[in-house]
A and B are shown apart, each in its own frame.
Chain A
């Protein structure tokens, strides 16, 4: 501007000039509350996702263990020499392809299995107690269970082969239901978080109405204003997601360490049975990072959408 200042203009004091302030005020009570909400939601979402991954991993382990093992059950008829039938069935099983180990439970082992139902101190020698033979496979797909079943039917008609298919199907269903439930919980948390972001953005729009009006009057385009709000909310979202994600990662690290430290105690065995080693893989930690980044992006995207809708209604 050509103005007569009546003297030399002062040189810009670059180092002292404050000029980097965002147009949407960075710190506000509503902003801090949103960071806390996002942090908590991210933490819960990561816990849910991590828990689902742990159960999925553990269920794969259960399925592999169970499907590598089949059981031969011999129900003796009167007059049968049960020991001879057991050793014959054991021989047939041992010859079958893909079988690694065959272990016949002794008579006393079989009787002990009935103790929880029949109690101790009973003489079971007169009862035709079925005998079990545990067969371990190298890999389920390498085992030819149909030919083993046919060979057993020929050699020992009293024997039946249980490949735990029913049990496996139930296990599959249970694990799938848990993972689906975790997925639904995760989706609900994202919806709740999106709703909170929506409220916060609308609140921020109302609180910064004067700023928006001034920006319009000085010639700011809607997309410029929307970008300012998007940047503001993306920062808040990233801060909240980083806090929540870091807390979740720390939780899993601590839980993994705890499971190692308490290994062998009564409770830890049940936990290990359900969750495996209770340690997430590197991929799972990457998933936590992706969830955090997605939540930050979602925060920015939603706020931009809401700001645009709001600005469209203004002149």
Chain B
């Protein structure tokens, strides 16, 4: 077994209460879905259906000829009710609502066969593109149909990762249960066929020994695949950190891994690619972890794309508490305020937190039997097996910075958050701030998490970036001079939306 690798900085969230169990429940096929025509990155698709038109599950309803995008499918059989613009994740997005008949059948993709090796790579690309799988993850899977900002032959490395560095993660054990572990390897082979120039890396958490051993056994004959056990320290799952730890390469912060020729996919994206090519299954459903203390029984669900959130969480939340639902990451994720909005391709975890406004008596003196902290001042640090509570209380008053340097110690990209924030607060927005690499920030939010003075560092750094950009000192001036041949830079749509 190889030694586990990691990066400097970061923080490992250990054993928060409400980790999802390795069970999978299928949510019944919903009778009404709303499908956003832009899911995750990429351009919005043109709507191909009209109200009143009948659609089949697996039929393409949104597709854009221009811009980087992948097709969007109807996830149920039924009739289109209405097509309208809705504010979705702070952006305007076209939504198709479909009234269904509850029948789980779906249309298979044309050309998919069991014996995929007999397919030409053009055919595989086409199937993947038509299945919509190419839209998964931050930059998707490149095909010649412009599903990513680079072309497949430009991909120099393919990183498949299931590190799980967030406080709550979708379980790798569940995703790779049974035959799926073989499917994963087949899936990687399929992707390798369309990206012939790519070196393949499989990064997994160094703590899931069983899976590592199994994969090591299965792949020992493949010299093209490198297995990387990584310490599951936040934010290891970020593209920026994966490129830094695995490829030992500088990352163009604020741009994407695809710009340096790296395609980064999570386990589920690879598994779904396999299902698309071999089983002909379009991307109409995916596995989502429901986790966190607000759920009665945290577990995984398989839900159709477009299922209203309410249907997915209904009956699973503990009664009599005010819950806050967060998408994907507790440090950076969106708060899901409107439960009528649908589940889309980008959902991987839905975390239910309890709003805790209770004022605890002498809270600063409590022994902290279940409190998580970066410092070693709580009893819970004594053993990693102690389950930690997780709520939305701020645990302290906002105070001036005392330069305790926690933020610098955890910063994964080696900037000094508290110093940057002092500049931003004093409105000293000039070259100094650029030289201190303010644009290297990857907005992982770890500095805000560890700050004992409860200063929202990550947000203020972002404000500083925005103010600098207005003044004409932008990201490009800081990042681009260090890179010669970034690919697809003109197609890049700017930093990821928060």
A and B pair up: no
B residues bordering A, Cβ < 8 Å?
Answer: none
A residues bordering B, Cβ < 8 Å?
Answer: none
